[in-house]
Copies of this chain bind each other. A is one copy, B any other.
Amino acid sequence: MLEFQLDARSGVPFYRQIIDQIRFGIATGQLKMGEQLPTVRSLAVQLKVNLNTVTKAYKELEIQKILETQQGTGTFIGSEKIDVSVRERRNKLRSICEEFINVAAAYGISPKQLVDELKKHEGGLS
């Protein structure tokens, strides 16, 4: 079972944090194909956010075909595996890195320092 947590100070919108955590859960195998997610209501209560905020997150993932919902039944991890296509992932990786480097550079942090810091976190996942 996934542990959802929101950080109100991060500046990242709640619904996006939920999306990221679900994607993260799937990427790390904590959430498996066909598994049921918490109901929108229960997750809203648990995270102390509005129903609509959770709904919005689930909805976006449904549009992306990552989740499937059956009205009256619940919301589930999609049966299609997310392969996000190798190309799309490469693009994501590149764009993420570019922005990362730019922001860091603006603070006088070199890529090498980033690498050093990141290495501390390697192996964090399975």
Number of copies: 4
Asked if A38 CB lies within 8 Å of chain B CBs, one says no
Question: Is A119 close to B, CB under 8 A?
Answer: yes
A17, closest chain B residue (CB): B102
B28 near A105: Cβ-Cβ < 8 Å: yes
Contact (Cβ within 8 A) B101 A112: no
Q: CB of A109 within 8 A of chain B? A: yes
A110 near B93: Cβ-Cβ < 8 Å: no
CB distance from A53 to the nearest CB of B (A): 8
B111:A89 contact, CB within 8 angstroms: no
Check A110 against B126 for contact (C-beta < 8 Å). Answer: yes
Tell me the chain A residues, 74-126 only, with Cβ under 8 Å from chain B.
82, 84, 89, 92-97, 99-115, 117-119, 121-126
Q: How far is the CA of A20 from the CA of B94 in the complex (A)?
A: 18
Q: Which residues of chain B have C-beta atoms less than 8 A from A1's C-beta?
A: none
Does B97 lie within 8 Å of A27, measured CB to CB? no
Partner of A111, one of B70, B92, B121: B121
Give A contacts to B, CB under 8 Å.
8-10, 12-13, 19-21, 23-24, 27-28, 60, 63-64, 68, 70-71, 82, 84, 89, 92-97, 99-115, 117-119, 121-126
